[in-house]
């Protein structure tokens, strides 16, 4: 199928979304995303950051789509023509979306552990305005623990649903979800249950902002003062693909190593880039030169 | 101009019951369809009639039915949208409460056309007592053989169920309604796929408004061709209008499409003029989400033509000088009404009803409400009008479902036609809430 | 987590075991479930929550939601997600009679705010509060589809329309003497919702 994005054409297989096609072309035309996560089923569509304009629907039906569409949830049709950065309308709309995402955000980046690897920070930097027009009191929630190792800072949440879908799709007993509605909607556990199973730590990794943070790492170190190193650990339950974050010779944080791989599901956990709690917590105590870890990547110097 | 189809027998005592409804010619469409027409022929009649969705969008019903996917071995569903929640609209409640069999009859005939073995009526939770009336009507219909196995010996079997919601305007959006019917949060789905392909429980589904389904009965009985001759142009047939606000005779009126707006407001056959001898200031013609129009533009188009109650005439002039027929929620305001305060009630409504899935609506609706409140509390600046305009423009069209537009349009229209009222409040900090209750007590 | 912030009460597992639908309510629940295809029992959740709210004191406690989850064999979090989405479900205790006065456009145009003030003065409570005797909770509601008969209020399953101050007096007296409103389940308990 042929699709043209910002004047650049390419052929893509059926079922490719506009976003995937744009990413194939390259970062210069790929729209930014916040809520879309490629490994999840039915992910995306909520934040509206990736909206683009379809100026020609397809060869069969060349009419434009009247409203901007979420590129992450819209499949390419043969002959489709799309405008992203070449449309001032799209850029203006995106600016609006960034503003909406930020009006109730606490902007507490100086004390946020996500700073330096926060998608919202990047989005605001790239597409936002220098000052806010919002003059009202921001929405506030108390910070809570939603499990022994996870801190929920609801003030920072942009309701991307990524953690909910992750829990739904890779574990059997989801205990957290989106409660209430409208601008009172919030991520919460059912009553006082805790997210506590082998895979629950992965919700931290999928959170695009600082809403879910790793309690073992909170206020330990700024991200940009640590160096990532990918490593592999033999494991029967998960992929064992870990990323160790080093401060000198000390492991200060463990996340999963991002790998291009297949979609997540409980069946394929072992193949996907998911890691279990044992590694996330356990490796913090393991000295770097321990034999149980096989280093198979060189140190990555930039994140 | 006084053709009535749906409410023809409204005054007949006992019309709520199956026996009286039947005596007045009820269930004729089921008889005609099952005995003499194929399902496709029923759909063809609906296409010929020119019937357009009565829920608000005005999409041709026959075409919507035509989109229904019919894969082998997969059940298809008809779902009736009785989640009427658009402020200013109460016609479906009136119809279901007084002539419940009109809906049940329409459900059977329409299901026959669509090949639906089962249908569901999703009614808003607050209308609980109406759901009981519907359930009673369904029970009567089962007892008389209009529902169940092998209806009229035709081989067509059908079951109809009522389900209540629990308070959420967004469930009037068809995919949110389906989510709610499945026992979930009323979050609209991202389309495509459309319900015609993957709707209720992933099966092909048609969702139609109560009045749309009820209108199928006269269409089949009299024939699509005859129905299409009622009304004006592409606005065929009759429409139930919910009239409320500062008028002498609020209520539900069945009008033939094409009736002049002026006649509707001032004739004693309809609204009966403005209450307490006051003057007309503005009208919201089709439910809270359609643009408000000042008196001069609702009575006459910008070209000076008389404005008619039809899809086309009300939309004449686009949003610059026109509005929409919408759901037919006709709210009339007299010359003492504050347009800004009325807008606040709308903005508060949409803020309250946003599902919270997508960011422009979740964040924007609350922001607009807070800004509008500033004008009434005397803390607004003139520049806030421009800010308000900019926010609504950034919500409109950027959301998953049409609630974004529904929230943005009334704000845009109020600024477009009544900007001076906003500026006046910003300059003079002069808003004083009047006691509407006392003001409206009849002059003795 | 802080229970107060999240609008729910502390969960008490011992209470949960005391919560069981009456035989008639259970029969109704089973009838409702049978309205849906096999495997789609979750579809009955909203009507079943209405029944639960009427059965167990007019609000949905964590224990009640947990019980509903077990009846429909779904995850408790799914019940909480749904119950907190819809305005007709109360997640905190409320008075026996919840008065919900519509305040949207047509009702405002016809004096809804004045009706609210009148009730506030009469009951000595503000919107959102409950009278000390636990009889009345006053709330404001968004459009209830009664615009032509504005102003109006809903209490339980009853609509009270074309309100006047005198009518409000009568309604409050009637509820005070009857002790409770008509619940959804009062309107013919033998049939489906």
Average confidence (pLDDT) over B327-348? 97
Taking the CA atoms of chain C, what radius of gyration do you get in angstroms? Answer: 18
Q: What share of chain C is helix, strand, coil (3-state, %, to 5)?
A: 45, 10, 45
Confidence at residue C7, expressed as pLDDT on a 0 to 100 scale:
42
- Asked if residue C191 has pLDDT above 90, the reply is no
Confidence at residue B259, expressed as pLDDT on a 0 to 100 scale:
97
Report the alpha-carbon angle A203-A208-A209, nearest 5: 105
Confidence at residue C189, expressed as pLDDT on a 0 to 100 scale:
39
Facing residue for A183 by CB, picked from B354, B387, B395: B354
Do A179 and C5 lie within an 8 Å CB cutoff?
no
β-partners of residue C155 are: C99, C158
**Confidence bin at A290 (pLDDT 50/70/90):** low
**Using one digit for the tens of pLDDT, what is the confidence trace for B389-412?**
999 999 999 999 999 999 999 999
The nearest CA of chain B is from the CA of C81 a distance in Å of: 7
What is the residue extent of each domain of chain C?
Answer: 3-85, 97-192
For C47, the closest chain B residue by CA position comes to: B164
What CA–CA distance (Å, rounded) separates A158 from A121?
Answer: 12
Contact list in A for residue B387 (CB cut-off 8 A) is: 133
Confidence at residue C12, expressed as pLDDT on a 0 to 100 scale:
76
- Asked if residue A286 has pLDDT above 70, the reply is no
Quick one: C97-192 is in which CATH superfamily?
Answer: Glutaredoxin (3.40.30.10)
Give the architecture-level CATH label for domain C3-85: Orthogonal Bundle (1.10)
3-state secondary structure of B312: helix
For B405, the closest chain A residue by CA position comes to: A67
Confidence at residue A275, expressed as pLDDT on a 0 to 100 scale:
82
Pair C1, A189: CB distance under 8 Å:
yes
**Confidence bin at A268 (pLDDT 50/70/90):** low
| Chain A contact for B398 (CB, 8 A cutoff) | yes
| Chain A contact for B275 (CB, 8 A cutoff) | no
**Confidence bin at C193 (pLDDT 50/70/90):** very low
SS3 sequence, chain A? CEEEECCEEEECCCCCEHHHHHHHHCCCCCCCCCCCCCCCCCCCCCCCCCEEEEEECCCCCCCCCCCCEEHHHCECCCCEEEECCCCHHHHHHHHHHHHHHHHCCCCCHHHCCCCCCCHHHHHHHHHCCCCCCCCCCCCCCCCEECCCCEEECHHHCCCCCHHHHHHHHHCCCCCEEEECCHHHCEEEECCCCCCCCCCCCHHHHHCCCCCEEECCCCCCCCHHHCEEEEEECCCCCCCCEEEEEEECCEEEEEEECCCCCCCCCHHHCCCCCCCCHHHHHHCCCCCCCCCCCEECCCCCCCC
How many percent of chain A have pLDDT more than 70?
Answer: 88
**Confidence bin at C6 (pLDDT 50/70/90):** very low
Residue-averaged pLDDT of chain B: 96
Do C42 and B183 lie within an 8 Å CB cutoff?
yes
Contact list in C for residue B346 (CB cut-off 8 A) is: 104-105
Confidence at residue B61, expressed as pLDDT on a 0 to 100 scale:
98
- Asked if residue A265 has pLDDT above 90, the reply is no
Torsion of CA B422, B427, B432, B434, to 10 degrees: -40
Token pair for residue C30? 């089973």
The nearest CA of chain A is from the CA of B368 a distance in Å of: 11
Facing residue for A179 by CB, picked from C62, C75, C84: C84
Token pair for residue C60? 């949905």
What CA–CA distance (Å, rounded) separates B392 from B382?
Answer: 17
- Asked if residue A292 has pLDDT above 70, the reply is no
- Asked if residue A297 has pLDDT above 50, the reply is no
Residue-averaged pLDDT of chain A: 87
Facing residue for B397 by CB, picked from A67, A101, A133: A67
The nearest CA of chain B is from the CA of C188 a distance in Å of: 8
Contact list in B for residue C44 (CB cut-off 8 A) is: 183
**Using one digit for the tens of pLDDT, what is the confidence trace for A133-158?**
999 999 999 999 988 889 999 999 99
**Confidence bin at A41 (pLDDT 50/70/90):** confident
Report the alpha-carbon angle B413-B416-B418, nearest 5: 95
* Best CA proximity match to B174, nearest among B204, B195, B151, B148: B195
Residue-averaged pLDDT of chain C: 89
Confidence at residue A271, expressed as pLDDT on a 0 to 100 scale:
52
- Asked if residue B76 has pLDDT above 90, the reply is yes
Confidence at residue C31, expressed as pLDDT on a 0 to 100 scale:
93
Confidence at residue B372, expressed as pLDDT on a 0 to 100 scale:
98
Interface size between A and C, measured as CB pairs under 8 A:
50
- Asked if residue C110 has pLDDT above 90, the reply is yes
| Alpha-helical regions (H) of C34-130 | 45-55, 62-72, 76-83, 105-109, 112-123
| Chain B contact for A45 (CB, 8 A cutoff) | yes
**Using one digit for the tens of pLDDT, what is the confidence trace for A192-215?**
677 778 888 889 999 999 999 999
Say which residues have a Cβ less than 8 Å from residue A61's Cβ, sequence separation at least 6: A77
**Confidence bin at A300 (pLDDT 50/70/90):** very low
Length of chain A, in residues: 303
B299 or A298: which leads in pLDDT: B299
Contact list in A for residue C78 (CB cut-off 8 A) is: 177
- Asked if residue B289 has pLDDT above 70, the reply is yes
- Asked if residue B159 has pLDDT above 90, the reply is yes
What CA–CA distance (Å, rounded) separates A209 from A102?
Answer: 12
- Asked if residue C188 has pLDDT above 60, the reply is no
Q: Which domains does chain A have, with CATH numbers?
A: 2-90 (3.10.20.740), 140-214 (3.30.70.20), 223-294 (no CATH)
* Best CA proximity match to C80, nearest among B179, A179, B182: A179
Subunits next to A (3 or more Cβ pairs <8 Å) are B, C
What CA–CA distance (Å, rounded) separates B392 from A44?
Answer: 23
Token pair for residue B24? 């007045």
**Confidence bin at C8 (pLDDT 50/70/90):** very low
Confidence at residue B300, expressed as pLDDT on a 0 to 100 scale:
97
The nearest CA of chain A is from the CA of B29 a distance in Å of: 37
- Asked if residue C190 has pLDDT above 60, the reply is no
* Best CA proximity match to B391, nearest among B364, B422, B426, B431: B364
* Best CA proximity match to B140, nearest among B20, B46, B56: B20
β-partners of residue B294 are: B282
* Best CA proximity match to A272, nearest among A262, A283, A282: A262
DSSP secondary structure string for all residues of B324-342: --TT-EEEEEETT--HHHH
Report the alpha-carbon angle A52-A56-A58, nearest 5: 115
Q: How far is CA C29 from the centre of its chain?
A: 18
User: pTM score, two decimals?
Assistant: 0.94
What is the dihedral sign for C-alpha B25, B29, B35, B36? positive
Least confident of A7-16, A264-273, B122-131, B229-238: A264-273
Do B87 and C104 lie within an 8 Å CB cutoff?
yes
């Amino acid at each position: 199928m042929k699709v043209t994005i910002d004047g650049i054409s390419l052929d893509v297989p059926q079922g490719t979304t506009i976003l995937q096609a744009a990413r194939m072309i390259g970062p210069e035309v790929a729209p930014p995303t916040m809520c879309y996560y490629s490994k999840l089923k039915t992910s995306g569509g909520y934040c509206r950051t990736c909206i683009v304009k379809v100026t020609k629907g397809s060869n069969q039906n060349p009419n434009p789509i009247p409203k901007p569409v979420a590129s992450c949830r819209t499949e390419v049709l043969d002959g489709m023509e799309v405008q992203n950065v070449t449309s001032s309308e799209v850029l203006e709309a995106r600016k609006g979306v960034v503003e909406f995402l930020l009006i109730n955000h606490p902007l507490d980046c100086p004390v946020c552990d996500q700073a330096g690897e926060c998608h919202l920070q990047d989005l605001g930097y790239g597409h936002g305005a220098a000052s806010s027009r919002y003059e009202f009191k921001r929405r506030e929630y108390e910070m809570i623990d939603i499990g022994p190792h996870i801190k929920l800072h609801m003030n920072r949440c942009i309701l991307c649903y990524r953690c909910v879908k992750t829990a739904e799709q890779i574990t059997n007993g989801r205990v957290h979800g989106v409660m209430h509605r409208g601008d009172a909607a919030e991520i919460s556990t059912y009553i006082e249950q805790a997210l506590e199973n082998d895979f629950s730590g992965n919700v931290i990794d999928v959170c695009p902002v600082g809403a879910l943070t790793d309690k073992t790492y909170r206020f330990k170190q700024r991200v940009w003062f640590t160096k990532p190193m990918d490593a592999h650990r033999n494991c029967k339950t998960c992929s064992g693909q870990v990323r160790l974050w080093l401060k000198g010779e000390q492991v200060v944080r463990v996340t999963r190593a991002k790998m291009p791989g297949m979609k997540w599901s409980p069946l394929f956990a072992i193949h996907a880039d998911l890691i279990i709690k044992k590694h996330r917590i356990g490796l913090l105590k393991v000295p770097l030169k321990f034999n149980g870890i096989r280093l198979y990547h060189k140190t990555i110097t930039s994140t | 101009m006084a053709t009535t189809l749906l409410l023809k027998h409204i005054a007949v005592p006992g019309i709520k019951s199956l026996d009286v409804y039947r005596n007045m010619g009820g269930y004729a469409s089921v008889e005609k369809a099952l005995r003499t027409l194929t399902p496709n022929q029923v759909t063809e009649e609906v296409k010929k009639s020119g019937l357009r969705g009565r829920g608000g969008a005005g999409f041709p019903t026959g075409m919507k039915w035509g989109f229904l996917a019919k894969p082998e071995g997969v059940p298809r569903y008809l779902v009736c949208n009785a989640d009427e929640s658009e402020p200013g609209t109460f016609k479906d409640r009136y119809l279901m409460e007084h002539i419940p069999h009109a809906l049940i009859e329409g459900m059977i005939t329409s299901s026959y056309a669509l090949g639906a073995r089962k249908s569901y009526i999703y009614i808003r939770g607050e209308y609980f007592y109406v759901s009981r009336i519907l359930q009673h009507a369904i029970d009567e219909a089962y007892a008389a053989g209009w529902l169940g196995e092998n209806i009229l010996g035709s081989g067509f079997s059908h079951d109809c169920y009522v389900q209540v919601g629990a308070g959420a305007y967004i469930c009037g959006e068809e995919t949110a309604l389906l989510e709610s019917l499945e026992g979930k949060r009323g979050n609209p789905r991202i389309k495509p796929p459309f319900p015609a392909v993957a709707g209720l429980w992933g099966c092909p589904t048609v969702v139609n408004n109560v009045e749309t389904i009820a209108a199928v009965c006269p269409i089949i009985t009299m024939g699509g061709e005859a129905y299409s001759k009622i009304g004006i142009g592409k606005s065929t047939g009759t429409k139930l209008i919910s009239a409320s606000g500062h008028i002498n005779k609020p209520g539900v009126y069945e009008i033939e499409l094409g009736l002049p707006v002026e006649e509707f407001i001032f004739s004693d056959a309809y609204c009966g003029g403005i209450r307490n001898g006051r003057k007309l200031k503005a009208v919201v013609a089709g439910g809270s989400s359609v643009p408000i129009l000042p008196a001069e533009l609702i009575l006459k188009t910008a070209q000076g033509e008389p404005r008619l109650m039809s899809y086309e005439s009300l939309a004449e002039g686009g949003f610059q000088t026109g509005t929409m027929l919408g759901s037919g929620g006709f709210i009339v305001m007299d010359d003492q009404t504050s347009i800004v305060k009325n807008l606040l009630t709308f903005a508060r409504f949409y803020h309250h009803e946003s599902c919270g899935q997508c960011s422009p609506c979740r964040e924007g609706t609350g922001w607009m409400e807070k800004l509008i409140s500033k004008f009434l509390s005397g803390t607004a600046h003139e520049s806030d009008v421009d800010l308000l305009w900019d926010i609504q423009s950034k919500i409109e069209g950027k959301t998953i479902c049409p609630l974004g537009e529904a929230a943005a349009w009334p704000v845009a229209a109020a600024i477009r036609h009544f900007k001076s009222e906003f500026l006046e409040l910003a300059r003079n900090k002069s808003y004083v809430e009047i006691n509407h209750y006392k003001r409206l007590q009849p002059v003795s | 987590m802080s229970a107060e912030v999240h609008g729910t009460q502390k969960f008490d597992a011992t209470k949960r075991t005391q919560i069981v639908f009456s035989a008639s309510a259970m029969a109704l629940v089973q009838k409702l479930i049978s309205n849906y295809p096999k495997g789609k029992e979750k579809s009955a959740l909203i009507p079943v929550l209405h029944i639960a709210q009427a059965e167990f004191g007019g609000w949905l406690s964590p224990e009640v939601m947990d019980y509903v989850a077990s009846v429909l064999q779904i995850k408790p979090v799914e019940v909480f997600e749904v119950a907190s989405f819809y305005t007709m479900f109360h997640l905190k205790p409320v008075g026996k009679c919840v008065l919900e006065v519509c305040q949207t456009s047509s009702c405002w145009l016809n004096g809804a705010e004045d009706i609210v003030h009148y009730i506030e003065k009469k009951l000595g409570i503000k919107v959102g509060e409950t009278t000390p005797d636990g009889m009345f909770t006053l709330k404001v509601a968004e459009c209830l589809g009664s615009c032509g008969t504005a102003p109006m209020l809903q209490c339980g399953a009853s609509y009270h329309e074309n309100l006047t101050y005198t009518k409000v007096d009568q309604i409050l007296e009637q509820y005070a003497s009857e002790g409770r409103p008509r619940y959804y389940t009062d309107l013919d308990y033998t049939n489906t919702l």
